[in-house]
Amino acid sequence: MKLFLLIYVLAGPTLAGILMTVALAARMSNSVMMWLIAAGFLIAIPVAWFVARAIENATGKKA
């Protein structure tokens, strides 16, 4: 769980920032941009979960 949270803390803002940059480049409205930022944080949950599991399986340790 600690590894998952650590990865989420890094992945959430990263994915939200990527989607915000896309929204800014496409000149989308503020409301659409906010939805994309929220989606970035939500998409980061399964990403962090799978990355944490892959690291745990590769190292053979539970953090």
Q: Which amino acid is at 24?
A: L
pLDDT of residue 63: 56
Taking all residues of the chain, what is their mean pLDDT, rounded to a whole number? 94
**Per the structure block, which two tokens stand in for 35?**
């939805």
CB-based contact 16:37 (threshold 8 Å)? yes
Rounded Cα distance between 63 and 53, Å, is: 10
Rg of the chain over all Cα atoms, to the nearest angstrom: 14
Residue 61 has pLDDT above 80, yes or no: no
Range of the domain at 21: 2-59
State yes or no: pLDDT of 35 exceeds 70. yes
pLDDT at 60: 87
Contact of 19 with 36, CB cutoff 8 Å: yes
Predicted model pTM: 0.85
Residue 47 has pLDDT above 90, yes or no: yes
Number of domains in the chain: 1
